[in-house]
Structure 1
Amino acid sequence: MAAAVQLGSLPRLARVRQQPLATQAAVLRYLLGRAQGTEWGRRYGYATSLRADEFARRVPVSTYEQLYPELEKVLRGQPNVLWPGPTPHWQARSSGTTNARSKYIPLTTEALHGNHYRAGRDMLALSTHLYPAHRVLQGKTLSLGGTRGPSPFGGAAQAGDVSALIMQGLPSWAEYLRTPPLPLALLDEWEEKIERIAWHVLHQDVRVLAGVPTWMIVLLRRVLTLAGATDISQVWPRLGLFLHGAVAFGPYRELFKQLIPNPQMRYLEIYNASEGYFALQDEPDSEDLLLLLDHGIYYEFLPATEFNSPTPRPVPLEAVEVGPTYALVISTNAGLWRYLVGDTVRFTSLQPYRVRITGRTKHFLNAFGEEVVVENAEAAVAAAARATGTLVRDFTAAPIYFATGAATSRGSHEWAVEFTGPPPADAALFGHTLDQELRRLNSDYDAKRHRDIALAAPRLHLLPAGTFEAWLRSRGRLGGQFKVPRLSNSRQILEEVLACQPA
């Protein structure tokens, strides 16, 4: 089976590495040709003969909010708006939008098969090629995904985490390799889900893990408890590979080494999202990710100098350079056109094109897959201030990562808040309201906080007056044009601020 899996993917990936620009030109022609009869395509004069520079001049760059009027038509069942054919049966849901609890992306048949499933086959082919001794196809892949349910827009469509939608339609051969079975994998009650999956996989021949590190840690700890083992290698001696994504792996690396001390254990990163599967790690000794250029996505890249421009001007692939930060702009076979994903990347190689994920175009918290954006945070702090009759002057927040030496530690968020006037008499009420409002606003945060399984309640510091001013002064940034960063996945700013508290 390994030879059959590799036969299609590896030669094709080799051709893409050798002919990246021609590959992307062909993808753009395909997208324009397929969409020329849609409402969007007619509006902007799509045709297979349309040059890339003309496409860039005609079609505006759009955020989710800007494209939403057209997306909403699709989500409510109108065909041929952004992509030809009937309304997609699947809608991928994630957090991050500023105007709703979740954002929804139509998942077309072409996107599902030509992007997500193709990339999955590529990752499987690379795994068997890079680590033949692991014999990953002779055991089970433990994949931990999300949930799905009826679309909030009505009709027969299903909406959910992209991982759940992908599992729902896997071909039979791929479903045979995967565990747990769908009824368990798609449970929406996370405490029950972790418990039942742990029991189910306890005595299986698990050789590959696939999922978000946050939840995988929770599951592995439960498996260890049930097995009465001290490390996962005692439970699954042939386990050799973890395919991880969604959050930065660095803070989790040491913890996984403790849970799985097997020196033969390997880790490969994938870069996928609701909008598409963008890149994967194709070299075992490098953290760089190979950009997937023939998976139904046409890429452009917005330089950091253009992030705040009212008329942003992305550059094509052939114009990028190694080193600078770019925001990802995509046109896809899901009907997203010059869509600003919000992720930022840095090219580490141009032959072939490889990237590293550097963050987001806005400050955010996504250490555990919670995707809390500044708008969420500000609304939650405002609600907490109202509940306690206080006025907040400034705040910042950062993650508390899993403790590498603690078997039961959970992640959390740590908030430092300074007030204009007296701090709240009831600090617990402030923290509770902040937490509950974030849960109301952000479905991903709410899922991680469910019964404290992955995220514990936030930790709160009430700062003395003048703390943030002292921090700004220490950095030479005291003045009206400088602002305190609200959110960061790094703890550096938070710890600097806490150290600046007046004695």
Structure 2
Amino acid sequence: MNDQIKDLQQKLLNASKKVLLAPKIVLSIPKNVLEMGIDVLEVSMDMLEHPGKVTEIPKHLFNLPSRVLEKLIKAYLIVNADLHQPSFANQKKILFDLIRKAKKTSFGEEYHFETIKTIKDFQKQIPIFHYKDFEPWILRMVKGELDVSYPGKIDRFATSSGTTGGTAKYIPITKENLKTSHFRGGIESLSLYIKNNPKSKFFQGKGLVIGGGFIKNPFTGEDNVGFISAILQKESPWIGQTFKTPGPDISYMEDREEKVKKTIALAETQNVTSISGQPSWMSNFLYRVLEATGKKNILEVWPNLEFFFWGGMAIHLYKKQLEALIPSKTMKYYQIYNASEGYFASQDTNDTDDMLLFTDHGVFYEFIPLQEYGKENPTVLTLDQVEVDKEYVILITNTSGLRRYILGDTIKFTTLNPWRIKITGRTKYYIDVVGECVTSDYSDRALVAACNKTQVHATDYMVAPIMYEGGEVRGAYEWIIECDQVPENQQEFATILDKELCDVNSYYYDERYDTKVLGEPTVHLVPKGTFYLWLKSKNKLGGQHKIPKLANDRKNIDEVLKIIG
């Protein structure tokens, strides 16, 4: 890698000398432009050694002609992508750096970090934590205590109820976490996109991201609690702010409806080249844009829109809807894995549906085989021990003080070294009535297949069990599916949906037709806007609130059933 950097440095230096030593050209160049050229050279050399420093470009360089600046940024994003080298050695270095830094924290002293010499020591001495298990440590941080599980004071916290239905969680965010994970991950995603699409016009316009706001810390009164999107906007380098819309004055607005209206009014006058967010929320937002502008499709509003960075949920249900809204054969859809706890992975080619796992971004990963999740002493694997096509629960240890923390997502690997992953569901959100273990990956695939066969356009859904007492049939599934137009023959759709779920999950098929302990599903097809009314009743409107698709209890689905009568 060092040889590659040196070669690139030499090429840049030689090219620069040719310009700077050409007398006729130099004499015709104003002094301030020459000085700026030298600054560009110095910054360029620095970024070749440290590609992540693209965020630290001096602000005065934006006085360069836009096409020159665009080429400069693109060149180094591509270098950054080329130099990305996933390795397990990165993982070991991250872990022992974190252990060394946290030795004198309360957590480090309680779990004897000074005696940890190997990964096995770490796994033996530190228990596995769900959020509720780790919450006492986090609340000490939120209350302002120093040196809890990370050195010093943590002065910002991402808050989220996760998928709608839980109480608020506080996720600690440090400057190191922002720099090594969130911002570096964002640069990595953009680097991969630019490398695959070098003719991109992204830097000629704005990227639309609608963030959340801040609330006061309930313990200290500080304004340091907010959605991760608000924290990222507030703390991001100025270069990130330059290419983003809307600005903080709109993004931090508390009134969500007013924020959407002002965002639309501003963005329809701008050259928006990219959008980012959750597929469900972004789809609804784009419909609002068309309503406000009277246009037929989004390309009439933003003709240069070229990519959508999406995450937070599967896109399958929304893909046809988005393609109708954005009728462009060149539109790119890039999945990213960016949670409050860190920026973990990104799609690295134009046409795949998996993501490249970032191994050198301040996060140490561990993995529990899904079938062992919940056991008292499950097998726990490191990145060099995982296998392709097996489902795992992710544990992370990061630069914000989280230690062996269960992230809540289930994933499977599609390739090894480089490690690529697919998100298959959530540990909390699955249905397991009689051992069938249906995750959202299975329910998504079944619903998409059923919709394709019936021309029903579903926009979201919720599933929960119906439990029976006595008799051979012990339970069944109840679905609420929101769609653009409710079909007349709902029973036909239910039958097809049930068959598709049998096709994608053999355990479900066994319990339906071999043991016959699962009965025929109940399916409600409801008009679009039903889940919006439910979210509104819970004061959960906003882009970071998601419909909990699957549950082993009936709390949420019974609330929605009351709304639809």
Residue deviations 1:84-128 (CA, integer Å, cap 9, x gap): 012x22110111499962111111111111110111111222222
Partner in structure 1 of residue 497 of structure 2: none
Output the amino acid matched with 1:302.
Answer: I
Partner in structure 2 of residue 67 of structure 1: 134
Output the amino acid matched with 2:261.
Answer: E
Separation in structure 1 between the aligned mates of residue 480 and residue 80 of structure 2, nearest angstrom: 40
1:328-407, aligned counterparts within 5 Å? 328-363=394-429, 398=479, 400-401=481-482, 403=484
The alpha-carbon deviation at position 132 of structure 1 amounts to 2.2
Verify the 8 A CA contact 1:397 1:486 in the aligned structure 2. no
Residue deviations 1:128-174 (CA, integer Å, cap 9, x gap): 22222231111110112222221223242421111111011121111
Separation in structure 2 between the aligned mates of residue 231 and residue 438 of structure 1, nearest angstrom: 27
Verify the 8 A CA contact 1:180 1:200 in the aligned structure 2. yes
TM-score (norm 2): 0.66
Distance 1:349 1:436, change over 3 A: closer
Q: In the alignment, is residue 82 of structure 1 matched against residue 145 of structure 2? A: no
Secondary structure at 1:358 match in 2: strand
Q: Give me the CA root mean square deviation.
A: 3.7
Residue deviations 1:385-429 (CA, integer Å, cap 9, x gap): xxxxxxxx98855453553999xxxxxxxxxxxxxxxxxxxxxxx
Output the amino acid matched with 1:75.
Answer: V
Separation in structure 1 between the aligned mates of residue 459 and residue 407 of structure 2, nearest angstrom: 16
Verify the 8 A CA contact 2:535 2:541 in the aligned structure 1. no
Partner in structure 2 of residue 40 of structure 1: 107
Partner in structure 2 of residue 318 of structure 1: 384
Separation in structure 1 between the aligned mates of residue 187 and residue 300 of structure 2, nearest angstrom: 29
Separation in structure 1 between the aligned mates of residue 116 and residue 537 of structure 2, nearest angstrom: 48
Partner in structure 2 of residue 447 of structure 1: 541
Secondary structure at 2:104 match in 1: coil
Partner in structure 1 of residue 262 of structure 2: 196
Verify the 8 A CA contact 2:461 2:479 in the aligned structure 1. no
Aligned length: 412
1:114-125, aligned counterparts within 5 Å? 114-125=180-191
Secondary structure at 1:236 match in 2: coil
Verify the 8 A CA contact 2:460 2:481 in the aligned structure 1. no
Q: Quick check: 210-219 or 227-236, which moved more?
A: 210-219
Distance 1:99 1:59, change over 3 A: farther
Separation in structure 1 between the aligned mates of residue 554 and residue 317 of structure 2, nearest angstrom: 17
Verify the 8 A CA contact 2:245 2:267 in the aligned structure 1. yes
Verify the 8 A CA contact 1:147 1:187 in the aligned structure 2. yes
Secondary structure at 2:113 match in 1: coil
Partner in structure 2 of residue 213 of structure 1: 279
1:113-152, aligned counterparts within 5 Å? 113-152=179-218
Verify the 8 A CA contact 2:193 2:349 in the aligned structure 1. no
Distance 1:142 1:397, change over 3 A: farther
The alpha-carbon deviation at position 370 of structure 1 amounts to 11
Residue deviations 1:25-75 (CA, integer Å, cap 9, x gap): 111122111111111112222249721111111100000001111111011
Q: Please, which of 89, 105, 108 is the counterpart of residue 171 of structure 2? A: 105
Separation in structure 1 between the aligned mates of residue 485 and residue 356 of structure 2, nearest angstrom: 30
Secondary structure at 2:333 match in 1: strand
Verify the 8 A CA contact 2:396 2:403 in the aligned structure 1. yes
Q: In the alignment, is residue 274 of structure 1 matched against residue 367 of structure 2? A: no
Verify the 8 A CA contact 1:77 1:155 in the aligned structure 2. no
Verify the 8 A CA contact 2:459 2:482 in the aligned structure 1. no
The alpha-carbon deviation at position 198 of structure 1 amounts to 0.6
Separation in structure 1 between the aligned mates of residue 281 and residue 175 of structure 2, nearest angstrom: 28
Distance 1:3 1:28, change over 3 A: farther
Distance 1:454 1:16, change over 3 A: closer
Verify the 8 A CA contact 1:279 1:291 in the aligned structure 2. yes
Distance 1:439 1:66, change over 3 A: farther
Which structure carries more helix by proportion?
A: 2
Separation in structure 2 between the aligned mates of residue 197 and residue 95 of structure 1, nearest angstrom: 25
Separation in structure 2 between the aligned mates of residue 305 and residue 436 of structure 1, nearest angstrom: 33
Question: Structure 1: 5+ residue runs without aligned partners?
Answer: 382-392, 407-431, 459-483, 490-503
Partner in structure 2 of residue 154 of structure 1: 220
Q: In the alignment, is residue 57 of structure 1 matched against residue 124 of structure 2? A: yes
Question: Structure 2: 5+ residue runs without aligned partners?
Answer: 1-68, 431-438, 445-457, 467-473, 488-529, 557-565
The alpha-carbon deviation at position 266 of structure 1 amounts to 0.8
TM-score (norm 1): 0.74
Partner in structure 1 of residue 27 of structure 2: none
Output the amino acid matched with 2:310.
Answer: H
Verify the 8 A CA contact 1:304 1:327 in the aligned structure 2. yes
Distance 1:98 1:130, change over 3 A: closer
The alpha-carbon deviation at position 196 of structure 1 amounts to 1.1
Verify the 8 A CA contact 2:369 2:390 in the aligned structure 1. yes
Partner in structure 2 of residue 500 of structure 1: none
Verify the 8 A CA contact 1:330 1:336 in the aligned structure 2. yes
Q: In the alignment, is residue 290 of structure 1 matched against residue 356 of structure 2? A: yes
Q: In the alignment, is residue 184 of structure 1 matched against residue 250 of structure 2? A: yes
Separation in structure 2 between the aligned mates of residue 299 and residue 9 of structure 1, nearest angstrom: 26
Separation in structure 1 between the aligned mates of residue 321 and residue 486 of structure 2, nearest angstrom: 8
Output the amino acid matched with 1:337.
Answer: R
Q: In the alignment, is residue 307 of structure 1 matched against residue 401 of structure 2? A: no
Q: Identity over the aligned pairs, expressed in percent? A: 33
Distance 1:333 1:369, change over 3 A: farther
Q: In the alignment, is residue 245 of structure 1 matched against residue 311 of structure 2? A: yes
Separation in structure 2 between the aligned mates of residue 185 and residue 438 of structure 1, nearest angstrom: 20
Partner in structure 2 of residue 472 of structure 1: none
Q: Quick check: 142-151 or 6-15, which moved more?
A: 6-15
The alpha-carbon deviation at position 268 of structure 1 amounts to 0.2
Verify the 8 A CA contact 2:310 2:334 in the aligned structure 1. yes
Separation in structure 2 between the aligned mates of residue 99 and residue 258 of structure 1, nearest angstrom: 31
Separation in structure 1 between the aligned mates of residue 349 and residue 151 of structure 2, nearest angstrom: 37
Pair member with larger Rg:
2
Distance 1:454 1:219, change over 3 A: farther
Verify the 8 A CA contact 2:77 2:190 in the aligned structure 1. no
